[in-house]
Structure 1
Amino acid sequence: MHNEVMKAHTRIYVPVSIAESRISKRFDPIPSGTLYPNADEIAYLQRLVMYKDSAIIVLNKPPKLPVKGNLPVHNSMDALAAAALSYDYEEGPQLVHRLDRESSGILLMGRTKESASYLQQLFTNVNIAKTSYSAWNNACDATCMRYWALVIGSPREKEGIISAPLTKVLLDDGKTERVMLAHQSGLETCQEAVTAYRVLGPMINGCSWLELHPHTSRKHQLRVHCAEALGTPIVGDYKYGWFVHRKWKQTPQVNIEPASGEPYKLRRPDGLDVQKGSVLSKVPLLHLHCRELVLPNIAKFLRVLQSKSDDHKLHLSSKSDVLRFVASMPSHMKISWNLMSSYLV
């Protein structure tokens, strides 16, 4: 009936295809019905959001969730975000940087094309992102990303800077790509890769915690630098540390505290399986977590960066120039952390 008048608060049920229109705008070659997440997937992804403003979204990505594949797939972060994290925007957020599928931690997305463009420049080369505006440049210089990793062994020096270019090679099957130190490959084509590291504590049961600060953004940079430059592969990294894992004697499951002889009590979050993915597991998950991110408050500066006026003070708000985020570790790394910390009591 075309002349009917709806009552207030009446629900309207529309076909799924209408809700999927946001997806089809971004992935025309892919049938939209294969990409639209269900209500549980949307709720799950929104629970990962640590921070949201008009320009960015910051998430704490769990391990094993792919960020982006060669094609938009149903369970990739990029595809799901288009529907689950668009909120009141017509377009979904865009990736600013990437994390490996097996790693976890802070993932930054730009909510607009403008914010994503500035942040992508910032993560590619800080000098490219700079302008004539000093406050923005100072905020760019403060940008950093720090990871925590559990490695097998311990570096000779407690802290240092790894400057080791990387190159990519194809393995014998002609399909699998592997990243390695350039000087070991004999190939001229390489990319500059620089990582600062710091040992966070003593070596316990053959493992050490490291803080890693990449100055460049190369594929598998931290994993290769840890395994090949430092000789301490990350726990759970079977791609670059397979031979070390074969010889590695994992953390023993003991009932007696080795230092005091007292009954051993493992401090761990309630309800977590001791074995699952931690150093106690037969097959540990990758222990690499993007823990901290410092970056310019792009929502504050965006209006200034797009303005042609020289009077920047007229456009600035009183909000902080820099934002800082810290993401909690996934459960398997928390268990490993608590287990190793218990030996220090």
Structure 2
Amino acid sequence: MKSKSIEFIMEGRRQRRRRWIIVTSSLTAFLIIVCCAMLLLGNTIYPVIDVIRALLGEQISGVSFAINTIRLPRMLAGLFAGFAFGIGGNTFQTMLRNPLANPNVIGITTGSSAAAVFCIVILHTSDTIVSVASVGAGLATVVFIYLFSKGKSFSIGRLILVGIGIQAMLNALISYILLVGAQQDLPAALRWLSGSLNGSQMHELPSLIITVLVFAPIIILLGKNLSILELGEQSATSLGVNTDKTRIVLILCSVCIIALATAITGPIAFVAFLSGPIAKRLVGVGFSNIIPAGLVGANLVLASDLIGQFAFEVRYPVGIITGIIGAPYLIYLLIRMNRKGEL
């Protein structure tokens, strides 16, 4: 009887592992397809062989410029920013055990946005300064949210409410900066605020790529502890997890990749909010959905950008498309949580 129970448990684990592998492989395959589509599609559709030759460094009239200067940077920006938003959003949602506790809703990306807009419109700084300011403002926003929501005891609900309030305040600050800024700086700032891959340049991307490649593996390695944190403070402590240290490392890594992605592409709406729940629904329980969440985020950004470019007569920034997708889900989630008494 005991051996049958153990075999039943092991079989369930094998099934969950197979599901995780199938889902992750499928998301990776779809991501490869949309990456190829980003390189192939445009005002001119180039033959695959010409695209490959251009990527390998061969100079082909018209093709090399379009691929290496326009399409490749756009694709890489969407790929790494989407992955960063997906992993970062999922980390906050899992760690705080609430789907609303993501960087978009609680104001972290808004803090990064406010700093970036200030640097672009008022200070006219370089891209490097914008990136540094975005990361610093994102971290500062986290600290303020934590301090204002701490009270006598830590409360996730209070943290979300404080975050929403800080987000509203920062949005007002952004509006004021746009109001007093020079007229010629506003189009660039507004285009950036909508969340866009337009104008992505190769020299801007190394900082984003390096940050994701450094901090995302740390989050993945802490995936087991992150899953244990979802059980609650007491359960995690009893299972040997240093909750404070783990939470600090996860927050720092998540804020860094999200803030830098925001500095490069702008605050692409709802990607951090949608990626975790979608990945969790696809993967199920029992295995970490950190990597699937990152893949979902990258797929969302690139697929939405393709839709924004080619599905309508007018081309729309990627943030508008993800906003159209994410807003109904947010309303649905709020209604469902209200019915369950979680709000």
**Shorter-chain TM-score: which interval?**
under 0.3
Task: Indicate the structure whose relative CO is greater, using CA pairs within 8 Å and at least 6 residues apart.
Answer: 2
Which one has the bigger helix percentage? 2
TM normalised by structure 2 equals 0.25
| More strand per residue | 1
Q: TM-score, normalised by structure 1?
A: 0.25
